[in-house]
Amino acid sequence: MIVPFIGRLSFADYWVILLVYLETLVASILALIPQPIFNFFGSIINYSVDIDDSTIEEKLRECPTIHEMCALFNISVEDHLVRTEDNYILTVHRIKPLPGTENGKVVYLHHGLLMCSDVWCCQTDRNKNLPFVLHDLGYEVWMGNNRGNKYSTAHLYHAPKSNKFWDFSIDEFAFFDIPNSIEFVLDFCQVEKLICIGFSQGSAQMFAAFSLNEKLNDKVSHFIAIAPAMTPKRLHNRIADTFAKSSPSLMYLFFGRNIILPSATTWQRTIHPKIFNKLIDIGNRILFNWKSSNITKEQKIACYAKLYSTTSVKSIVHWFQILRSQKFSMFEESDDMFNSLTRPYLVPTFPTRTNIRIPILLIYGGNDLLVDIKVMKRNLPATSVFDVKVDNHEHLDLIWGQYTDVLVISKVLKFIEFFDNIGANLLPSISRRDSSASEFGTTSRRRQTLTNSGKLLNAIPANTMRIVDNLSEPSATLTARVLSTPGSQARMSPLSQRRGSMMGLMENDPLRNNSSKLIPHEEGDNNNDEDDAIGPNEKIPDSESRISIEDTIAPEEQQPEIVDNLNTTSYNNEEEDDYDDAIADEDGEDDDEQAHNSFLDEDTIHQNRVQRRRLSRYLSNEP
């Protein structure tokens, strides 16, 4: 194959190519040195720089598997094996809820590129590990693993050393790994639906799987994509970006057709942790312009050791093809430049725009070069996708940053709770709740807050539930109060104050969809705010004004379907409905929404806008 970019490289570019081969040679030599020798010199370095091996970050770093990591937090993990349709053997990890805490719901989490399930459990603070928080709330938690990573290197017919074993890309993840793992979990738990959460490439795999497998949409209630990768714009480094876009197959020349970066584990056990972490930071800065300023040095010691797990070179080539075409497309076997100009066919793209029927929440960092949110939203359904932008945060910050409990986990929990309770809000029991609350002069919006700040969020300490959307200006962008926790009393501001501040809150709303316009609410004479207000020392009787979530949940067969048509109402008050209607009617539309809405009637379009506004206000904790 002719190398098409050879005339574009500078003298420095050739030095980079030479260094790649030199690194492979040095790593091969170091791999021959016994591990005890490295341990001996490592202990000398640790003693000289006064490193405490008893700290939680050092213990996490030294844990060989997820079992030891979870054991540090008194959580047990089970291994289960999944046989895919193409005969790979995958390991999925299960954290079952403690007896008496089960809520009957199942969550499936999937990791990103060059990772494994370890990445979900290596935060030094227990309450910042999403699986542990879900476990404490009574969810049954499952964590999947891609074929080829350290937990899934088995095949019925191919050895891990063969090229055939490593002949897979994102296509195989979408066709087999994701659907087969989800179906296994559903069969094991004997439930009809589960909740999916993906990080980075894990989100992309789920997008692809849901678009290719129509039946899979009926098995997932809602999907949260954290730092979702679909069509990255570019790489920060010019040399790497040139390689990726000119000829993705060049990766085969550097690394062969088996494992990508096979020497990474050798360097990890050879280099001192602080030096290794510094090299990771340099690499991330060069390739993606990530500064990792939101991840503490102590946290890096724990999590950077879990950053790499084996995968195929072909999967990296697939990402480079996507980077070059700027389309979330399937793998092209022959991708050299000359073939792309002369081929008589088009490489198919994943039909994510038309085939996904699941409510989706996108949580992305404002400084993440790998996430192009505008392109992503154009490739996803227009009416069931909501997004949260986390300012001043990058890709890895969203799972390992020091504010993940505030900025990510709280959003995940509220999104799950919102859709879980939509059905309950439509039941006849609402009238009972309204009549009970009306005796104490509470408004509809206050009743909604009292109902939805229930036991699901009580398990998290109050100081972790403050949602700050821009940490550089916390006083200006604080969009949430501390939610109620056991023993605390919810306090509400007068309705006039809440509406008066709504302009500023909505302008900073991280979930505003389709460039929505905001109109101020006109105060009327019939709004008696003082009558509706609850004083700071006024106590609301728990037995009557607080209606438990369980009291309003109908039998499953009576709950409406919300996936196909997100037009249900979550409030039961004419004043609140009129306000939401006014906001929705003034919401602007982008071209993509207009194209989608051309197939819908006006009433459905209006109700979809109202639904987006309500979820936006609920997730951002607007009063």
- If asked whether residues 104 and 193 sit together in one domain, one would say yes
Q: What CATH number is associated with residue 195?
A: 3.40.50.1820
Tell me which of 309, 395, 516, 616 is the catalytic residue.
395
- Domain with 506, as residue range(s), is 434-619
Write the burial class of residue 242 (CB in 10 Å: 0-12 exposed, 13-18 middle, 19+ buried).
middle
Residues 340 and 459 in one domain: no
**Calpha distance 561→235 (Å, rounded):** 42
Q: Is 587 a catalytic residue?
A: no
Within 8 A by CB and 6+ apart from 77, the residues are 66, 67, 70, 93, 94, 95
Same domain, 545 and 455: yes
Is 208 among the domain residues?
Answer: yes
111 noted as active-site residue: no
At residue 221's C-alpha, the angle toward residues 216 and 224, to 5°, is: 95
Neighbours of 618 (CB within 10 A): 19
Residue where a domain stops, chosen among 305, 338, 358? 358
Q: Are both 507 and 612 inside the same structural domain?
A: yes
Q: Whole-angstrom Cα distance, residue 345 to residue 331?
A: 13
Same domain, 473 and 569: yes
pLDDT at position 126: 95
Task: Establish if 335 belongs to a structural domain.
Answer: yes
Asked if 451 and 302 sit in the same domain, the reply is no
Question: Do 202 and 335 sit in the same domain of this protein?
Answer: yes
DSSP category for residue 408 = I
| pLDDT for 448 | 39
Asked, for residue 68, whether it belongs to a domain, the answer is yes
Structure tokens at 176: 């087999």
Residues lower than pLDDT 50 in the chain: 1-5, 47, 49, 423-576, 579, 584-585, 623
pLDDT at 170: 97
Domain endpoint, select from 343, 358, 373: 358
The Cα 506–Cα 477 span in angstroms is 11
Is residue 409 domain-resident?
A: no
Same domain, 318 and 454: no
Torsions phi, psi for 128 (to 5 deg)? -105, 0
The DSSP annotation for 92-130 comes to EEEEPPPTT---S-EEEEE--TT--GGGGG--SSGGG-H
Is residue 351 located within the same domain as residue 492?
no
> Distance (Å, rounded) from C-alpha 122 to C-alpha 621?
29
The pTM is what?
A: 0.69
Based on the fold, state whether residues 144 and 264 are members of the same structural domain.
yes
Concatenating the DSSP letter of every residue in 70-82 gives: HHTTT---EEEEE
The b/e string for 188-215 (b: 16+ C-beta within 10 A; e otherwise) is ebeeebbbbbbbbbbbbbbbbbbbbbee
Q: Reply yes or no on whether 368 is catalytic.
A: yes
Which residues lie closer than 8 Å to 214 by C-beta, 6 or more apart?
Answer: 355
Q: What is the pLDDT of residue 54?
A: 77
Please give the structure tokens belonging to residue 294.
Answer: 């939101």
Q: Assess if residue 396 is contained within a domain.
A: no
Does 67 fall in a domain? yes
What is the domain count for the chain? 2
**Long-range pairs of 152-159 with CB within 8 A, sequence gap ≥ 24:** 152/88, 152/89, 152/90, 152/91, 153/310, 154/88, 154/89, 155/87, 155/88, 155/89, 156/83, 156/87, 156/89, 157/87
Q: Is 203 a domain residue? A: yes
**Same domain flag for 128 and 261:** yes
Of 324, 339, 358, which residue sits at a domain end?
A: 358
In a domain, 229, yes or no: yes
